[in-house]
Copies of this chain bind each other. A is one copy, B any other.
């Protein structure tokens, strides 16, 4: 099979990673790196490359050798760039967030569907061995019912010029949640609070409470101001609990067979029932072996696979839309002083 002609759009923070991994993917052929600043694109490609740099997006879209574009530009530009690409008949891989609004995102999803083109979101974490294993553990029932989720993603981060900490970091947590939850569990509502203690003009610290259809609460803490870097997610289940510490290469994932159980006892009164039947399991911890694979290479392979097989990508436009729906609901909740915002309503209003 011929490799798929690809152009990377954007030579900023993330673009170079797309360039590197696209070049390492046999099913793709990198044709262009496009950036408004052509010199920057050239610098990213370096002096030894046969890949072409350009500042003209139109030239890329006009190139019949280009079958797909991978877009890593500021979020505010995504809508126009993705639409133009789809209208030019190109498949699209786009960085998170899909766009800054539900209404725009929904339009792109519809457009891709109508055109029969692949619209894929680069929810990179969903392609890590750790997250795939988490999904497998949850879907396979080894965890039991999910009882709580706690996700912390904090570090001394770049205060972004165009997005706040919610839109910058929470897409990771929310796309992972979307990916690993059982198929019948949906997000119903979101409440969020945040602060901007350095007067940066946008939220630098935020806490989200995500309410699932099962009544379970998932909590996400994102923070640009912490001097220590933490990337930890705990998923508590009725049978086992997963602790994912992404910064611990020796032990990224640990499955704890310990927790609090409550046995059923219909014959007891309400009060007795509660205390009497609580028991504690302190069992072994299992650290599953995970393959060492770079997630972004898997993203590239998935992009090529979806195009070649004419199927939606694992993290398709729909997943991008759901994440944007949560982010928009969270932003509304912050504006409303932390009130609970129904995600359904946000999407319905816009779609």
Q: Which residues of A contact B (CB under 8 A)?
A: 23-24, 29-30, 46-51, 147-148, 150, 152, 154, 156, 159, 161, 191, 193-195, 197-202, 204-205, 207, 209, 215-217, 219, 221, 223-229, 234, 236, 238, 241, 243, 250-251, 254, 256-262, 270-271, 273-275, 278, 280, 282-289, 337-340
Contact = CB atoms under 8 A, between A and B. Distances in A.
Contact of A224 (B30, B50, B260): B260
B225 A260 contact: yes
Contacts of A278: 159, 198, 200
B197 A274 contact: no
30 contacts: A48-B51, A49-B50, A148-B223, A152-B152, A154-B234, A156-B259, A159-B275, A159-B278, A191-B338, A193-B209, A193-B217, A197-B215, A197-B236, A199-B262, A204-B260, A207-B207, A221-B221, A225-B236, A225-B241, A225-B260, A227-B243, A227-B258, A227-B285, A228-B243, A228-B256, A229-B250, A258-B289, A285-B286, A338-B338, A338-B340
A262 B198 contact: yes
**Copy number of this protein in the oligomer?**
4
Contacts of A258: 156, 227, 289
Residue of A194, A243, A259, A274 ringed by the most chain B CB atoms within 10 A: A274
A191 B334 CA distance: 13
A227 B209 CA distance: 21
Nearest to A208: B207
Given A338-B338, A340-B337, A226 B236 contact: yes
Given A195-B215, A219-B221, A207 B209 contact: yes
B48 A197 contact: no
A270 B201 contact: yes
Contact of A49 (B48, B194, B274): B48
A221 B150 contact: yes
Contacts of A194: 217
A260 B337 contact: no
A340 B258 CA distance: 35
Nearest to A51: B48
A228 B250 contact: yes
Given A198-B260, A229-B250, A338-B338, A150 B289 contact: no
A25 to B, nearest CB: 11
A159 B335 CA distance: 36
